[in-house]
Chains A and B, each alone.
Chain A
Amino acid sequence: AQSVTQLGSHVSVSEGALVLLRCNYSSSVPPYLFWYVQYPNQGLQLLLKYTSAATLVKGINGFEAEFKKSETSFHLTKPSAHMSDAAEYFCAVSDYGGATNKLIFGTGTLLAVQP
């Protein structure tokens, strides 16, 4: 069975500091991995996706993630945090069953950005 684990339910950084949100996956097949962001009282917005092409994936809002098979990781980073980055971040793996594409989510990481 596929799963993802997000280490750290809360992460706090200062504005301008590096953002690092951790995600490890478990999958018996080459995984398709995603990061979604949820702003307060809003839906989920796709930040970026890994679909077995380049291992370094660039997303929106300056975020990027690196797929490391040897570490079964897909950590999300951003060089310099902005106040507007404060949100809940979800890592997810695609459980593809032919006719449908079920997402299995991690438990989320709440990012706080301090001025």
Chain B
Amino acid sequence: DTAVSQTPKYLVTQMGNDKSIKCEQNLGHDTMYWYKQDSKKFLKIMFSYNNKELIINETVPNRFSPKSPDKAHLNLHINSLELGDSAVYFCASSLNRDRVSHFGAGTRLSVL
């Protein structure tokens, strides 16, 4: 009964490839997020969706394209992967009025 689940947990790929990470939440939340954690453990928001609508896009390269088919899902597609994209990507969700974000276990992306 995982609350926020991401797949895959690990992703190793070559530079220039395109990859996707999937996220699903079963908490009934209306807002979902993608955060990036770099090699120094610094966490920064990338995107936020509320009821399938893009709310936040934090100057992320347009090689990154989030898609929210419904309130419970937020996927992240990355085109033309670069070495600098190597990081841990966390999905999170929250109920708007609650302000508490629940995080997935993360996807560790390694670009070779």
Q: Which residues of chain A have a CB within 8 Å of any CB of chain B?
A: 32, 34, 36, 38, 41-46, 49, 51, 88, 90, 94, 96-97, 99-105, 107-108, 110
Contacts and interface: CB of A to CB of B under 8 A. Distances in A.
Contacts, number: 67
B40 to A, nearest CB: 8
Contacts of B99: 32, 49, 51, 94, 96, 101
Given A41-B108, A100-B50, 14 more contacts: A36-B103, A38-B41, A43-B104, A49-B100, A51-B99, A88-B41, A90-B43, A94-B99, A100-B56, A102-B45, A104-B45, A105-B44, A107-B40, A107-B42
Interface residues on B, range: 20 to 34
Task: Tell me if A's interface is mostly helix, strand, loop or mixed.
Answer: strand
B90 A101 contact: no
Contacts of A41: 108
A100 B96 contact: yes
A34 B31 contact: no
